[in-house]
Each structure stands twice: as C-alpha cells, then as structure tokens.
A and B are shown apart, each in its own frame.
Chain A
Amino acid sequence: MRSLLVACLGALALLAAPQQFHINLDSVASKASSHVDVSLDASTLQFAAKFLDASDPDEAKVKKLIVGIEGIYVRHFEFKSSGAWSQADLEPIRAQLHGPEWSRIVGVSSSEDGENAEIWLRHSGNKSVGVAIIATEPKEVTVVNIAGNIDLESLSELGGHFGVPKMKTPDKPQKEE
C-alpha cells in the first residue's frame, strides 16, 4: 500500500514537473559570476506563443518550434576566469543521462578553444520525447532540457538569430567524439 502511494506521488510529481532530469549545478552556481535560469512549463509556453508575432520571421519560427514542447529548462553560467568549474561538476547530470531512456546522439569537442557540446535524446518507444544539451567553454557552462518533441534542425537554424552570430564552419575540426 505504501509503495503504491509512493508510486502515485512520484507519478504526480512527474506530471507536475515535466523536467526530465535534475539540473543540480549548485556547486557551479556558487562559482559563477553570472547565471541565467529559465524554467518554462507548457502553460507558460502556450501563453508566450500568443505574444509571438507571426509576421516577424524569427518569432514565427519560434512560434512554430515550440508547438509540441512541454517544457524548456535552461541553466547558463558564466565565469570570470577559466578553471572555475570542472567536468566533475557536470557528472551528476551525465549520470542521470546514462539511464536507458537517454542516448547520446552527437558530441563535439575542441582542444584548441576548449569548447565542448553534446546532445542527448530521450526516447519513449520509437518517439523522441526530450533533448538534453550540455555545452561548455572555459568560461561558460550551459545545460538545457527541452521536454517534448523538438525539431533539432529548426532549433539549429535559430543560431545566428536574435543577435547570436552563426558559427563559421571550421576548415578542419579539431577533434570529434
């Protein structure tokens, strides 16, 4: 009976919070010079969609992109100096992504500029139901969880918009995983 109650409470917690893994970065936050913390559930996304202008090309893309998304959770940290954080700080997150429902689809790392980025997909049956993104630079750490069905190609196309410069294709990649 108790286990049933615990299971029900767990199910309720999952329904209330569609975030698919816990972004526990308190150790990183304490060392950061600035941070961004965004948590948007489905109702907030739907509300925001009403204020996105379909006649604006960028906002129209975002409006289309967030259809089917149940939540967006972002933690972004910036540091004054390199070495303020370590890969060990991210291990609790990676440990959660090593569960059977997650698979790492791509990761790139550059030994030259110390940039790393990896994308994990969460599956339910044959459907992808979530994305995890871990991106690090010597002075930046970004962890993203997008719950729901997201088109990565469209998300990628947003790079270069809203003031984010689109990265140039390197002549020779330094290293890839």
Chain B
Amino acid sequence: MDWLEEELRRALAREDPPDGFAERVLSRSARGAWGRRGWLAAAAMVVVAFGAGGAWRQHQGNQAKEEVMLALRLASGPVSHIQSEVRGMTQ
C-alpha cells in the first residue's frame, strides 16, 4: 500500500497557484459583473426609450387633436350663425 499512499499524497498535495492567479480571477469576475450591469442598463434604456417615445407620440396626438377641435370650433361658429340666420329668414 505504500506506493498507493505515495501516489495519493502526491496527487493531493497542496500546490501554490501560479503568480497573478488571484488578480486574474478577480479581474474576470469584475468584468462579468460589469457586463451584466451593462446589459441591464441597455435593457433599461430601451424600455425608457420606448416608453418616452410612446408618451411623446401620445402628447403629439393629443396636441394635434386639440388643434383640430379648435380649428373646427372656430370654423363651425360662423357656419352655424349663417345657418341660423337663413333658417330665421325662411321661417
């Protein structure tokens, strides 16, 4: 059994990591965290952009609607007035 113990001891012997191993691990870990944050930030920006675009479109639509209502209100007043006058004459 000596040879087996010897093999196991050799295989499981404590071995120091090569120089710079810890720095490399920490560096990769940090890059991964930033990468995930980057994706989250990009996704959030897309959501915000779509939301802002939708809100802007809604605002523009409401503004256009108000302008149409105002224009037709100003146009309908005189037409309604003329119609009332003409009806009054014919009655």
Contact = CB atoms under 8 A, between A and B. Distances in A.
Interface size on A, as a range, is: 35 or more
B75 interface: yes
B78 A40 contact: no
B80 A38 contact: no
A44 interface: yes
Interface stretch (B2-10, B13-21, B40-48, B60-68): B60-68
Q: Is the interface of B mostly helix, strand, loop or mixed?
A: helix
Interface string B8-45: 00000000000000000000000000000000000000
A48 B64 contact: yes
Interface stretch (A20-28, A92-100, A152-160): A152-160
- The A interface is mostly helix, strand or loop, or mixed, namely mixed
For chain B, give the interface size range: 20 to 34
Contacts, number: 132
B82 interface: yes
Contacts of A72: 68, 71-72, 75
A139 to B, nearest CB: 14
Contact of A135 (B77, B87, B89): B77
A14 to B, nearest CB: 21
Contact of B81 (A40, A167, A171): A167
Max chain B C-beta neighbours (<10 A), residue from A106, A159, A167: A159
16 contacts: A48-B61, A52-B65, A72-B71, A119-B78, A133-B75, A142-B78, A144-B78, A158-B76, A159-B80, A159-B81, A161-B76, A169-B84, A169-B88, A170-B85, A173-B85, A173-B88
* Closest 4 A/B residue pairs (Cβ): A159-B80, A135-B78, A48-B64, A51-B61
